[in-house]
Amino acid sequence: MTVNLGTMSDKSGRAVGPVLDIDGLKVTFATDSGDVEAVRDVSLDVKPGEVLAIVGESGSGKTVTAKTILGLLPETATQSGTVVIRGHDVVSVTPAAMRQIRGRDVAMVFQEPSTALNPVFTVGWQIAEGIRAHSAHGHRVSAKEARKRAVDALRKVGIPDPEVRVNYYPHQFSGGQKQRVVIAAALALNPGLIVADEPTTALDVTVQAEILQLLRDLRDQYGTSIVLITHNMGVVADLADRVVVMYQGDVVEEASARTLFAEPREDYTKRLLAAVPHLGRQSASEGVTKRLHQDGKVLVEAKNLTIEYPGRLGRPGFRAVDDVNFTLSEREVFGLVGESGSGKTTIGRAIAGLNRVTGGSLKVLGYEMLNFKERTFRPLRKDIGFVFQDPAASFNPHLSIGECVAEPIVIHEKASPAETRRRVGALLESVQLPSSFAARFPHELSGGQRQRASLARALALNPRLLIADEPTSALDVSVQAKVLELFRDIQEEFGFAALFISHDLAVVDMLSHWVGVLYKGKLVEQGIGSHVMGAPQHDYTRRLIASLPVPDPAEQALRRAEHRALLGT
Amino acid sequence: MSTSELHASRGPILGRLPVVSHLRKSVGLQRGMLVAGVILTGFFLLATALAPLLAPYGYSQLSDNSGSFPTQQAPSAKHLLGTTVGGYDVLSRVLWGSQTAVTVIVVSVAMSLFLGVALGLLSGYFGGWLDRIMVVIADAIYAFPSLLLAIVMSIVISRGQSSFWGGILACSFAITVVFVPQYFRVIRAETIRLKAEPFVESAKVVGASSLRIMGRHIFTNATRTLPLMFTLNASEAILTLAGLGFLGFGIEPSSASEWGFDLNKALSDASSGIWWTGVFPGLAIVLTVLGLTLVGESINDLNDPRLRGRRRAGTKQLKAGKA
Amino acid sequence: MTSLIEVPEAKPGAVTPKSKAAPGGGLGRYLVVRFFLIIPTIFILVTLVFFMMRVIGDPITAAQGGRLPPDVLAQRIHDAGYDRPILVQYAEYLGQLATGNFGTTITDRRPVVDMLATFGTATLELSINALVVALAVGIPLGLIAAQRRDKGQDAVLRCFAILCYATPVFFSGLLLKLVFSAWLGWLPVAGRTSTRTELTMQGLAAPSGIYWLDALRSGNMAALGDIAAHAVLPAIALGLLTAGVFLRLVRTNVIGTLGKDYIEAGRSRGVSEFRLLTRHAYKPALIPIITVMGLQIALMLGGAVLTETTFEWKGLGYQLVQYLNARDFVAVQGIVVLLAVIVAVTNFVVDVVAALIDPRVRY
């Protein structure tokens, strides 16, 4: 998509010096367990028209740094150092001056567009609020003028019919359009700098590609500088000119994007980059020409599977899964990939008896799930393991890890307490956790450790089938890499069949022998992983793969040029 | 409250007790409110326990060795807070009244807790038509003025007679009917929320029975709001009891001392400027409810990360936190 | 008393606009569904009240038992049809209610509908006065408390709110009477008007029953002053009780919305804190506030019974206590059913208002 070229305010008067200059920034938060230094010592600058990415895993202090730029830290924070935007130090200015800086000199794009827009006001009103908060040439902007400028801003970000849409409420836009509206609001006063905090994390990969293109166009055509906060190395490779890597509140490394990806200097950066899944590398089905494990028994068989959620108050229901056919055999890893709302999770849950099948047939271990009864299905449950997406939420906070992992054993086998304890210890060790962790409570473990424990629980009864629903999407990349590796090793060791559900093509490709692509409830394509990723047949799969940014700026630039037509940008 | 918030309550057993743990994580004004509430509630409980020792006379005593008490007498050495229009000693009535209040609180809250939690768990977990019917009934009762319901109930139960236990039970039952829907709603909503939590689903997936899921996974997590509800309902119970007494549907003065009844009798005194008969029982109600509500509000705030106040960074450490 | 503190997750009402507002549903459908939900609510309460009353026995024995010879009593019970099976009586009662016939009181033999009309307006007037006090005090103070959260003003306001709630209306009424009537002598002790004004009001043609409205319409300023003087103390006593709840409600909800991303987004565009509070945070907070306020109407009606008794304000609540003491259960039943209808209808109206504010329901 191209951005309409409007007449821009003259920017030639601006100094050539940095738009943003952070020097010796330190931020400390008060928490229940004492003070926490979120940012220890950060210095960086952003030049006009530059995209600077700040990358890091959770707890690196990247978001806190972003909020500091706009003076949006909560009252529990104390800060020192300087953050200079166009001659104003936002650490020390008065609140009134800060208010003038916000929106005029620097604006922000948020992670979650659906919460960053006020649900009870029209988008036009919300954009106009920012415009009217700043006086132009000494007098207050009229409501009419502000509205006109809101329409202009919406047009700039590619919202069709901006004159009409300006009166829409946020819920009338799709997720990607909402993010465009948030960007329009940030652009309303033509600030020289935009801080984008994980601007595409909440979005599907195809929408992400559009938003990244929009941000790139803004930079190219209006010379807007962008501070891009992200954990996604693909996004960095796609958009950033220069990269600052943060780790536990400190800047670890700073380099141009190409240099950083090509020859990282610091160990941390090297490890981080090595952990990022790269589509086409490490494929589990590399060189495979025939579907694997077809000699074994078929464990799951879906024939014209349909799952509908009932509509409220007699409205038609929502068809989450529509006429899907597939099989999953012993020892096979089936990767199910799709964007949000594609029905991938619904299928996984239906196999585990958590969702009702409403049409067609779904046979799990020989049991017909259409009209299933919990009582008759229960004996089969010991052969099915399930790993949930959020490791924090999938453990009862009141029970110890040992008690949680032991639960399947206690329910299905009358083992003695000593025997149970021994087996729990062995299970924990098989997922590379010390057996002493059995006595700990879930909150005492890190995310990666919890997900290992979750895997241990799923494997407690040595199941024939394992369903993993986005098991690594709540984890940092470096942790994700370790969990994926563990998953791969254990699958080979235990030999269970697995349904691996993920939105991340690269992750699915790393683990799965056979891959199915879901789109709006339909299984549009299935095949050997490396074939699907390398030579997609269906248009949607092609678009999906083209949208996925690879963590390599040079390769990504080529891909982008290649896929321009396909993505319609 | 997110699950991660729950974890904060893990620690040594003393530190996990509701009010104690809240006291530890409170700061500044919030701590002040909680402490004030605890002190007021402490006074109330102390008065209840020591009423037989502290009260100079019995609750229905109208005379002593030196003859009948005077009526409507201003505070004096013999009657520190004066006497009522009926000739009761105000101080004794106020102290004995705390016993009545505590008995009613304990009986009514215990009954409604048991019923409400059990119904809420079952209704929320199993859903279906039974759930729908229960919700409609609970909502209807919930929406109705609870005092009116209590009046009607107390008449139905006691039919006008009021011995000590008869009156206490009538009031407690009446209050229970009002409270059960509240407990039901809260526990049901919690159960429905928890039912969709991955840790409950993972119990389901490993084949745990409904009974096991409800008992081991949902119950322990759903009841986290109960300390809060207990304090709030205790104060509501006092207000409802006093309301019943004030309107004349409570406990007879000869059976027990009850603040609301005394206030009713004091109403006409107020018009003629006699203040001591009404002000003291009234203050007793206000301070008791104030104490309980302060405790409840503080617990509520401290449970809710959005509402919880925190120190500013850089100020001196109040207490070394656990890592 | 309805809870002062909304316990987490205990959202009132069986149906909230948001939960039922699937895309493409539309407001009209929501309104229709919500309207029909009134019926089961009223039906359940009517049933509950009917059977609870009958547990005690038939109304005639309850009211006049012991005062009449047994054979006369039996005859009266038979004439009134109270010796028939309870279910027949119940069906008949429902039929009568459907046609607007509430029966006749036993003690003073008035049609219940007349009684309700006479005393209902007095209660309505008291409720309106108190609601004005509650809104005028509760909302601004709640906004201030939310803005100055955890600061001194907030602590003072919250303690004020709890104090309002902790003080039973008959005690605050007693204190007000003591200070303003007995000691200062500024305001009348009790009643809705003085006797002279009362007579004037009753002499009016086609009165609305709301005294200040009638006085305004007839231009009788002396009567208006008298009515206002009588209205002040009851309105404050009942209004402050509710004001405490409103204050707390506004504070909690506005603090909740102040923590939302869209407030930070507004702030990041340079919108002032005052405007963020009064527009950006207040309007989304208003939806839950209004819904819960509907439930507070029930609290107010309960409080009205106590207020009316305290101030001898001859409304439904005052009359209810009289009839209860006389064991006139036909009258009691009539009043309780009317209150149930008022509560159900108010909650409906409140949900509709909340739906109108929320654009997610409107479209």
Domain assignment of residue B7, yes or no:
no
State the smallest CA–CA distance between residue A120 and chain B in angstroms.
21
Q: Which residue in the block uniquely carries the two structure tokens 């895309």?
A: C23
State the smallest CA–CA distance between residue B319 and chain C in angstroms.
20
Task: Note down the domain range covering C226.
Answer: 113-362
Are residues B10 and A78, on separate chains, in Cβ contact within 8 Å?
no
Domain assignment of residue C336, yes or no:
yes
Chain C residues touching residue B144 (CB < 8 angstroms):
45, 298, 339-340, 343
Q: Are C71 and C128 in a shared domain?
A: no
Domain boundary among C45, C66, C98: C98
Q: What is the pLDDT of residue C16?
A: 36
Other Cβ atoms less than 10 A from the Cβ of A377: the count is 18
pLDDT(B63) > 80: no
Q: Which residues of chain C have pLDDT under 70?
A: 1-26, 56, 63-66, 201, 204-207, 361-363
Domain assignment of residue C273, yes or no:
yes
Task: Note down the domain range covering B273.
Answer: 26-59+71-308
State the smallest CA–CA distance between residue A379 and chain B in angstroms.
8
Domain boundary among C46, C75, C98: C98
Chain B residues touching residue A443 (CB < 8 angstroms):
4, 6-7, 10
Domain assignment of residue C93, yes or no:
yes
The CATH number assigned to the domain holding B81 equals 1.10.3720.10
Q: Which residue in the block uniquely carries the two structure tokens 């009588």?
A: C230
Q: What is the pLDDT of residue B9?
A: 41
The answer to whether residues A235 and A200 touch, using CB atoms and an 8 Å cutoff, is yes
Interchain contact C217–A (C-beta under 8 A) = no
> How many percent of chain A have pLDDT more than 70?
95
Interchain contact C267–A (C-beta under 8 A) = yes
Please give the residue that has the higher pLDDT: either B75 or C91: C91
> How many percent of chain B have pLDDT more than 70?
78
Residues of A with CB under 8 A from a CB of C: 70, 72, 95, 99-104, 107-108, 110, 112, 115-122, 126, 129-130, 133-134, 169, 171-172, 182, 185-186, 188-189, 311-313, 315
Domain boundary among C58, C73, C98: C98
DSSP H or E stretch at residue A515: strand A514-519
> How many percent of chain A have pLDDT more than 90?
54
Chain B residues touching residue A31 (CB < 8 angstroms):
310, 321
Domain assignment of residue C6, yes or no:
no
Chain B residues touching residue C306 (CB < 8 angstroms):
147, 243, 246-247
Q: Which of A51-65, A148-162, B56-70 has the lowest mean pLDDT?
A: B56-70
| CA distances for C284 relative to B108, C269, C358, angstroms | 37, 19, 8
| Cα four-point dihedral sign B50, B54, B60, B66 | positive
Domain assignment of residue C193, yes or no:
yes
Q: Are C94 and C118 in a shared domain?
A: no
Chain C, 127 to 166: residues with Cβ < 8 Å from chain A are: none
Chain B residues touching residue C252 (CB < 8 angstroms):
307
Task: Of A371, A275, A365, A355, give the one whose Cα is nearest residue A328.
Answer: A365
Q: Which residue among B137, B146, B189 places its CB closest to the CB of C10? A: B189
Q: Which residue among B206, B312, B320 places its CB closest to the CB of A411? A: B206
Secondary structure (3-state) at C8: coil
Domain assignment of residue C16, yes or no:
no
Domains, chain A: 1-105+192-276 (3.40.50.300), 111-190 (no CATH), 298-396+464-550 (3.40.50.300)
Are residues A408 and B207, on separate chains, in Cβ contact within 8 Å?
yes
Mean pLDDT across the stretch A209-222? 92
Give the C-alpha separation, A313 to C213, whole Å. 44
Are residues A313 and C280, on separate chains, in Cβ contact within 8 Å?
no
Q: What is the pLDDT of residue A134?
A: 86
Q: Are C216 and C325 in a shared domain?
A: yes
The CATH number assigned to the domain holding C249 equals 1.10.3720.10
pLDDT tens digits along A460-474: 989 999 999 999 888
Domain assignment of residue B30, yes or no:
yes
- Quick one: closest CA in B to A395, which residue? B199
Are residues A107 and C268, on separate chains, in Cβ contact within 8 Å?
yes
State the smallest CA–CA distance between residue A121 and chain B in angstroms.
24
Domain assignment of residue C12, yes or no:
no
State the smallest CA–CA distance between residue A18 and chain C in angstroms.
21
Secondary structure (3-state) at B163: coil
Please give the residue that has the higher pLDDT: either A135 or A341: A341
ipTM: 0.81
Chain C residues touching residue A121 (CB < 8 angstroms):
280, 283
Mean pLDDT across the stretch B118-139? 86
Q: Are C224 and C344 in a shared domain?
A: yes
The answer to whether residues A499 and A328 touch, using CB atoms and an 8 Å cutoff, is yes
Domain assignment of residue B168, yes or no:
yes
Mean pLDDT across the stretch A144-158? 91
> DSSP assignment, residue A38?
E
Q: Which long-range contacts (CB under 8 A, 24 or more apart) does C206-213 make?
A: C208/C121, C209/C117, C209/C118, C209/C120, C209/C121, C209/C122, C209/C124, C209/C125, C210/C121, C210/C124, C210/C125, C210/C128, C211/C125, C212/C125
- Quick one: closest CA in A to C261, which residue? A116
Domain assignment of residue B283, yes or no:
yes
Task: Of B57, B122, B61, B68, give the one whose Cα is nearest residue B91.
Answer: B57
Q: Which residue among B207, B311, B323 places its CB closest to the CB of A382? A: B207
Using DSSP bridges, classify how beta strands A34-46 and A20-31 pair: parallel, antiparallel or unpaired.
Answer: antiparallel
Q: What's the token pair of residue A26?
A: 């330190």
The answer to whether residues A195 and A227 touch, using CB atoms and an 8 Å cutoff, is yes
Q: Are C91 and C185 in a shared domain?
A: no
Are residues A129 and C271, on separate chains, in Cβ contact within 8 Å?
yes
Are residues A30 and B315, on separate chains, in Cβ contact within 8 Å?
yes
Are residues B145 and C170, on separate chains, in Cβ contact within 8 Å?
no
Q: Are C188 and C280 in a shared domain?
A: yes
Interchain contact B215–A (C-beta under 8 A) = no
Other Cβ atoms less than 10 A from the Cβ of C2: the count is 24
What is the Rg, in whole angstroms, of the alpha carbon atoms belonging to chain A? 26
Chain A residues touching residue B320 (CB < 8 angstroms):
34
Chain C, 20 to 39: residues with Cβ < 8 Å from chain A are: 20, 22-25, 29, 33
**List of chains touching B (3+ CB pairs within 8 A):** A, C
Q: Which of A178-187, A354-363, C240-249 has the lowest mean pLDDT?
A: C240-249
Please give the residue that has the higher pLDDT: either B81 or B140: B140
Other Cβ atoms less than 10 A from the Cβ of C221: the count is 10
pLDDT(A412) > 80: yes
Select the highest-mean-pLDDT range: A34-38, A133-137, A469-473, B75-79.
A469-473
Q: Are C243 and C316 in a shared domain?
A: yes
Q: What is the pLDDT of residue B163?
A: 66
Q: Are C122 and C180 in a shared domain?
A: yes
Q: Which residue among B199, B221, B312 places its CB closest to the CB of A30? A: B312
pLDDT(B146) > 80: no
Report residue A346's pLDDT band, with 50, 70 and 90 as the boundaries. Answer: very high
pLDDT(A138) > 80: no
Task: Of A3, A555, A506, A563, give the one whose Cα is nearest residue A238.
Answer: A555
pLDDT(A2) > 50: no
The answer to whether residues B69 and B59 touch, using CB atoms and an 8 Å cutoff, is no
Phi, psi (5° rounding) for residue A319? -90, 105
pLDDT tens digits along B228-269: 778 777 888 888 888 888 888 777 777 777 787 777 877 777
Chain C, 77 to 106: residues with Cβ < 8 Å from chain B are: none
Domain assignment of residue B317, yes or no:
no
Q: What is the pLDDT of residue B286?
A: 87
Q: Are C240 and C296 in a shared domain?
A: yes
pLDDT(B179) > 50: yes
Q: What's the token pair of residue C197?
A: 């004004």
Q: Which of A195-199, A544-548, C29-33 has the lowest mean pLDDT?
A: C29-33
Q: How many domains does chain C have?
A: 2
| CA distances for A260 relative to A63, A154, A236, A242, A479, angstroms | 21, 35, 11, 9, 21
Q: What's the token pair of residue B224?
A: 């986290």
Chain A residues touching residue B304 (CB < 8 angstroms):
none
Q: What is the pLDDT of residue B310?
A: 52
Cβ burial of A485 (10 Å; 0-12, 13-18, 19+) is middle
Chain A residues touching residue B204 (CB < 8 angstroms):
353-354
Give the C-alpha separation, C335 to C330, whole Å. 9
Are residues A100 and C260, on separate chains, in Cβ contact within 8 Å?
no
| Cα four-point dihedral sign B288, B294, B296, B299 | negative
Domain assignment of residue B8, yes or no:
no
pLDDT tens digits along A484-535: 999 999 999 889 999 999 999 999 999 999 999 999 999 999 999 999 998 9
Q: How many domains does chain B have?
A: 1
State the smallest CA–CA distance between residue B233 and chain C in angstroms.
8
Are residues A28 and B312, on separate chains, in Cβ contact within 8 Å?
no
Q: Are C320 and C188 in a shared domain?
A: yes
What is the Rg, in whole angstroms, of the alpha carbon atoms belonging to chain C? 24
Task: Of C240, C288, C251, C286, give the one whose Cα is nearest residue C131.
Answer: C240
Q: Which residue among C55, C181, C305 places its CB closest to the CB of B156? A: C55
Q: Which of C267, C268, C356 to mutate to test the interface with A (most CBs of A within 10 A)?
A: C268
Are residues C1 and B139, on separate chains, in Cβ contact within 8 Å?
no
Mean pLDDT across the stretch A232-250? 93
Chain B residues touching residue A78 (CB < 8 angstroms):
312-314
Domain assignment of residue B121, yes or no:
yes
Domain assignment of residue B66, yes or no:
no
